[in-house]
Amino acid sequence: MTDPRELLARYLQQRAAMGESPLILDATPVKEAPGPAPASPDEHGPAQPSTDQHRGAQTSRDKPAQRSAPLARVRPRSPASKPDWRRGAPPIPATGIVVPAAEKDLFSTDPLSSMQLEEVAAAIRQCAKCVLCRERANAVPGEGPADARLVVVGEGPGATEDETGRPFVGRAGQLLTEILAAIELPRERVFICNVVKCRPPDNRKPQQDEIDTCVPYLYRQLDLIRPKVILAMGNTAAETLLNTRQSLGSLRGRVHQFRGVPLIVTYHPAALLRNPHWKKPTWDDVRIARQLVDA
Ligand code: URA
Ligand code: URA
């Protein structure tokens, strides 16, 4: 699955499944009517980091050469080169639930409160605070850059995650990877983790006491990363982070705040695999999250 054509084909299929018009799915350049190119600021182009938070080997500094190419060689942008996720993206909705920051306890004796991200991961790998540690092959602390602008929170590891120690690498994970690519946030730039860090046997839902025991790790991760947006995927992540029992459907379409960080709720990718009707609403939700990442 590394053949770029195969990847593109899958990506386009995915988009079609999301209800995008097949016209814009055609990657071949389309002849454009004369006139100004469609509004598509360069800074939103796929390879064009929009803020200085995209550090790393290739940055915008590699780009200006292209921009200053002789006019004669500048071709009109084809629709396929536009950041499609912006087309028809919903407006930013109103504020929802506000979860205030925890009060800082200067005298805390909890070792977690002074750990950095790698230390949190190490603590998770050694954790034996609940029964889930008994049957795990690997704990799954989460992965991604410490300064990620987006954090995705799922429920808990499944079989593939347990085997590999990595989050969202099974079927649902592949779908998540595709969704992130479609909003031009490659998964390598996103911190991806779960509410519980060890796989519940037979993929049952984590129990409340397991969640309560494990969630301080997630809170610490979020406090350290302080992303621009949190994307809570599925009931468990939404209920846990927002401390609510409201249905996922009613939590969608609002910008919640978790300790000062905007939080968007959407369906879990595993649910999308079972129920394709939720793909379109999910696509709307992630595009709201994406806009907030840039905000
Ligand atoms: N929308 C797309 O176009 N692609 C995806 O993978 C997800 C949503
Ligand atoms: N489902 C989740 O909630 N998390 C994973 O890491 C994988 C599947």
For residue 138 the two structure tokens come to 């690997």
Please report where in the chains the tokens 């899958």 appear, as a residue: 10
**Residue 138 placed within a domain:** yes
For residue 131 the two structure tokens come to 């029964």
Please report where in the chains the tokens 């018009």 appear, as a residue: 21
Three-state DSSP class for residue 127: coil
Question: CATH code at 120?
Answer: 3.40.470.10
Q: Kindly report the pTM of this predicted structure.
A: 0.74
**Residue 4 placed within a domain:** no
What integer is the mean pLDDT of 9-18?
A: 60
pLDDT at 103: 86
| CB of 267 closer than 6 angstroms to any ligand 1 atom | no
Question: Residue 140 CA: which ligand is closest?
Answer: 2
> Taking 90 as the threshold, does the pLDDT of residue 108 lie above it?
no
From ligand 1's centre to the CA of 9, what distance in Å?
Answer: 12
**Residue 260 placed within a domain:** yes
Share above pLDDT 70 across residues of the chain, in percent, rounded to a whole number: 72
> Taking 60 as the threshold, does the pLDDT of residue 53 lie above it?
no
pLDDT at 102: 85
Which of the pair, 198 or 58, is modelled with greater confidence?
A: 198
Could you report the per-residue pLDDT of 250-286, keeping only the tens digit for each? 999 999 999 999 999 999 999 999 999 999 999 999 9
Whose CA is closest to 18, among 277, 291, 203, 273? 277
39 Cβ neighbours under 8 A, 6+ residues apart: none
| CB of 14 closer than 6 angstroms to any ligand 1 atom | yes
Contact (CB, 8 A) for 81 and 45: yes
**Residue 269 placed within a domain:** yes
Which ligand 2 atom lies nearest to the CA of residue 268? 3
The residue whose CA is least distant from atom 2 of ligand 1 is 15
Three-state DSSP class for residue 44: helix
**Residue 277 placed within a domain:** yes
Question: Residue 139 CA: which ligand is closest?
Answer: 2
DSSP H/E element including 198: none
**Residue 100 placed within a domain:** no
What integer is the mean pLDDT of 134-156?
A: 98
Q: Which domain holds residue 198?
A: 111-294
| CB of 184 closer than 6 angstroms to any ligand 1 atom | no
**Residue 41 placed within a domain:** no
| CB of 176 closer than 6 angstroms to any ligand 1 atom | no
Three-state DSSP class for residue 165: coil
- Total domains, the chain: 1
Question: DSSP secondary-structure letter at 99?
Answer: E
- Detail the DSSP E strand segments found in the chain: 95-99, 150-154, 191-194, 229-233, 255-258, 261-266
From ligand 2's centre to the CA of 13, what distance in Å?
Answer: 23
**Residue 208 placed within a domain:** yes
pLDDT band of residue 104 (cuts 50, 70, 90) is confident
Contact (CB, 8 A) for 198 and 156: yes
Q: How far is CA 171 from the centre of its chain?
A: 16
pLDDT at 18: 57
Q: How far is CA 10 from the centre of its chain?
A: 19
From ligand 2's centre to the CA of 294, what distance in Å?
Answer: 26
> Taking 70 as the threshold, does the pLDDT of residue 14 lie above it?
no
One-letter amino acid of 155:
E
Please report where in the chains the tokens 């390879």 appear, as a residue: 47
Share above pLDDT 90 across residues of the chain, in percent, rounded to a whole number: 69
